Chains A and B, each alone.
Chain A
């Protein structure tokens, strides 16, 4: 998140990760620091830092 909002703030960034409690895959795409794709829809995205 720090990278997405700083060094990579002008880029399109895809992050592939997973739920830490299970095996569900999560994909979030940011364009210029803003989330444009969040899969699955039930994903809760915390963006701290004000």
Chain B
């Protein structure tokens, strides 16, 4: 009788272990739950989808937010950008030029390029001060840019002597001299858009 009980206990324990393992695998495979956009954020998406392709437009999120007079916010921009990253089916422009081209600001692209070029050329990682000087922004702006690039998984934190980040390998092997580009067009009428 005792033997039967111990077998049952072992079976229950092994079933539990299997369930725990299955749960861990499932949680790793399931993408992070995407937060729904609020109405203001959805307006930015609608603006972009209508604008993309007009006059060769590859307009970025920051320009769309400014056009709609959306309160400037890195958090809002990140939420909209993450939605675009997760939904390439929204427009051919995302699939053709890549979400990175659309969701980053010119400053963020230049900050990324500073780190990428250093890694490609086998140079030491630049410090925040050096990046700020190269890009022509303040150190606080560099910090904000690095944080945004990390959130988009373009950079990873690293224990290097420079700014404390390293570039995710796929962006090192990306298209040299065609990556992280921007061409912002401003008209007298006030209209702004990007082309590539």
Q: Which residues of A contact B (CB under 8 A)?
A: 2-3, 7-8, 11-18, 20-23, 25
B177 touches A20 (CB 8 A): yes
Q: Is B106 an interface residue (CB 8 A)?
A: yes
Q: Which DSSP category, helix, strand, loop or mixed, fits chain B's interface?
A: mixed
Q: Is B181 an interface residue (CB 8 A)?
A: yes
Residue of B nearest to A25 (CB): B136
- Beyond contacts A13-B185, A13-B186: 11 other A-B pairs, Cβ-Cβ < 8 A, are A3-B55, A7-B55, A15-B185, A16-B106, A16-B183, A16-B186, A17-B182, A17-B183, A18-B110, A18-B182, A20-B178
The 7 sampled A-B contact pairs (Cβ below 8 Å) are A7-B55, A15-B183, A16-B183, A18-B181, A18-B182, A20-B177, A23-B110
In the assembled complex, the Cα of A12 lies from the Cα of B55 at a distance in Å of 15
In the assembled complex, the Cα of A7 lies from the Cα of B136 at a distance in Å of 33
B186 contact set on A, CB distance < 8 A? 13-16
Contact residue among B106, B113, B134, B187 (Cβ-Cβ distance under 8 Å from A12): B187
In the assembled complex, the Cα of A25 lies from the Cα of B182 at a distance in Å of 10
A21 touches B55 (CB 8 A): no
A17 touches B184 (CB 8 A): yes
- Minimum-distance CB pairs A-B, first 6: A16-B184, A14-B186, A20-B177, A17-B183, A12-B188, A23-B110
Q: Mark each residue of chain B from 153 to 196: 1 if its CB lies under 8 Å from any CB of chain A, else 0.
A: 00000000000000000000000011001111111110000010
A25 contact set on B, CB distance < 8 A? 110, 136
Residue of A nearest to B177 (CB): A20
Within 119-159 of B, Cβ neighbours of A (below 8 Å) are at 134-136
Within 12-37 of B, Cβ neighbours of A (below 8 Å) are at none
Q: Is B70 an interface residue (CB 8 A)?
A: no
B135 contact set on A, CB distance < 8 A? 23
| Given A18-B182, A20-B178, A8 and B117 contact (CB-CB distance below 8 Å) | no
